[in-house]
Structure formats: C-alpha cells, structure tokens
Chain A
Amino acid sequence: GKDRGKERADTIHQIQAQLPAEKPALHLRLPVCDSLGSCAVPHQVHAASRALSTGVIKPSLSLSFHSYDRLLRIRALRWEYGSVLPTTIRFHMCAEEMEWFNQYKKSLATYMRSIGGEEGLDITQDVKPPKSLYIEVRCLKDHGEFEIDDGTVILLKKNSQHFLPRWKCEQLIRQGVLEHVIS
C-alpha cells in the first residue's frame, strides 16, 4: 500500500509549488454557480472563469485539510495523553491550535461534570474494562515521587515494580511511564 504520510506531504508540496508567489490580481468576480447559464456572458469566458475559480479553490482545500487533520490529532491527544501536553508536543503546535486544545478541554470537562451525578463522571478513565482494583506495574523510566490516596509516597524509579490502585496508574500507563504487568 501507499505510504499515507509521504503522500500527504507530497500533495502539500505540490500544491504549494503551484501557488503563485504573489496574490494574483483578480479584478473579475469569478462566477461559480450554474445559474450563470441564463446570463449573457460569452461562452468562452464562462469556461475560463470556471477553470480559474476551480483552480483557486483546490489548493486551499489541501491546506485546510492539513490544518483540519492536525486538529483531529490534537483532539486525540486529549484522550490518549491527558489534559497536560508535554513540552515536546506543545513545541510543534501553533498558538491557535493550543487555544483550540484548551477550548476542547473545557468543553469536555463541562460535559463530564454534567453526567454521572454530583461528582460528574471521568469518561477518559476505565477505557478498558477493569478487572481488579489494584494492578502490578513496572516503571519504564524515572518519574520521581508519586503520592497515592492514603498519603503514601512511592518513588517511581526505572525498572522498579509496584502494586498500585488501578485508577492512579491508568494515565501513566497510557503515557508510557509505567507498564501494566500481567502474570
């Protein structure tokens, strides 16, 4: 099969290469709709103007697709990673995308507060059916100190293993800090 990522990048480069360096001076208002059939525009001008307007819309489509796809991935990050994005990812986002992410976070939080009774319901948790309250985890990288509900502090050092409450670990497992060990 084709490599999607490369194809996408190639498409964008093709489009960008074809866009004129300066904005073309379009003095005519370009008619796009079929109702023009009734008005007295010379046949050839009609054909040419349709070609031009199609040609102007198409490159902007590819660029807006790229922006839209980025937003879809940023939205996925809220679910996959959590509400605080690491600096490495933030570095690759523009200010508007960061703003969009914050708005999305807020909408999601408002929704979650509104369901499941007084305390709300965190639907980003328990994505897989839980089988036990506590799980065995191994630390994949150093993550410093970690406090659990009863006040105990655990040191998450690389390769250490712990028996911890499931709900505290879920996010760290998704982020690749901990590994769920099944014996």
Chain B
Amino acid sequence: MLKHLYDTDCVTWSPQGKLFQVEYAMEAVKQGSICLGLKSNDFVVLCSLKRQPSELAGYQEKQFKIDDHMAIAIAGLTADARVLCKYMRTECLEYKYTYESHHPVGRLVFKVAEKSQHKTQSGAKRPYGVGLLVAGIDPNGVHLFETCPSGNYYEYKCQAIGSRSQAARTYFESWFHLFEKSTLEQLILHGLSALKKAIMEDEELNERNVEVGILGKNQKFIHLNAQELKDYIVKLETFNANAQIQQE
C-alpha cells in the first residue's frame, strides 16, 4: 500500500478519502492502557488500568477531575492529555466565575472536539494523540462522552478505549441493559468485571493498578481509595451479573 505517499501531514488526503495522520493519531489511543466508563440513571463510573513503566516507578494516573461535576479518563499520550485537561479545567473555572454554575458537559466536550479538529486541518500541526472518556453531570442528566483525535465526539451509555478494549466492549454489549437501574455498587462491579476481561493472562487486578472514579447527581467526583478498591476486587470474585437479572 502506498500509504507513505499520503501520510506526511494532515493536509493531504489519500485517494480513498482518508487522512492518515489522523488515523495514526487514533492508533496512539489504541496503544494506551484501557479505560472504560459506564453510567446508570444516577451515577457514572470510570475504571482504568494503570501502567507501571518499570518496577521502580509509580503507576501512571489516568483519571483527572475537571470540576466537581466532571472528570476524564485518558488513553494515549499523557502529555497531550495534560494539555486538554488544563484547557477543560480552565473553561470550567471561567464558566463558574461568570455564571456561578457548572459548565454544561456536552458543551465542554464540543469545545474540546473543536480544538481537536483544528489540529487536523493545518500543515504545521499534529492531532492530539489522546482519547478522553468524559463523565459529567448537568441539568440534562448523567453523561458519558468519548472524544477522538479526529475531533469527533460521541455520547455513550458505556464505552471502553485503549489496549484490548474490545474485550470490555463485548462484556458491555451483553450486560449494558442492566446498567440504567443498577446501584452504584453493581455499576462498579460491572466496570471491574469488564476491566478484568481486558487484562492479560498473567496480570491481575489489584488496588495499585486499578483506578476507579465515581460521579453522581449528589456525589462530587471522587476516586475510590486503596481499601475500597481492595474490597471491591474481593467482591468481584462472587459478583454474578446473572443474579442482578433475577432481582429485577
């Protein structure tokens, strides 16, 4: 394939109608470690698998609070994620300063998407190499969005991005019809179950490499602490999604 003829910069189309630089940027997202999000009527839960560059190193954080009512989980280039995170936090602060209320979630995602698109239409720029899962609450309800380097954004009931995320998405496809009415605990356990599907055979979930963040209508964004994570991972052993169906 003569890809190399058309992939030098963002301002070159391929004959098949593709922008290869943008597609390569989306690859960077797929290389990042998995993060997923799922929502019920009242809560959004973000779960991520943290990578440890070496035994000596700490684990790379993947979830960041944007405002009390909004948080993101990242997959891809962490440095690019920091830029977008800072932008989102600044926008939220400005909105709060001007209007004394929370920045509507969809609107901020739209702004991030606009910013991302801008980078795909210039000879001198490159797209952001990070995908975000944006969890947020606003008067319109509970939201989960995904943003792409291409500048597209989508709203989801549940979504997983990053390495081996297809396995998590397959889990979601089987069980997402239960999420709407799930309790917070069930939602977290579903999230961790999906995460478990996506780890390698020799890996295991523990309180160091898992990050869980929750956000609710009356719950500001918080991370679960190490003890809570341990408890949930233990509960995961006996968690049976089937049991939830029988309950309803």
- The reply to whether chain A is a binding partner of chain B is no
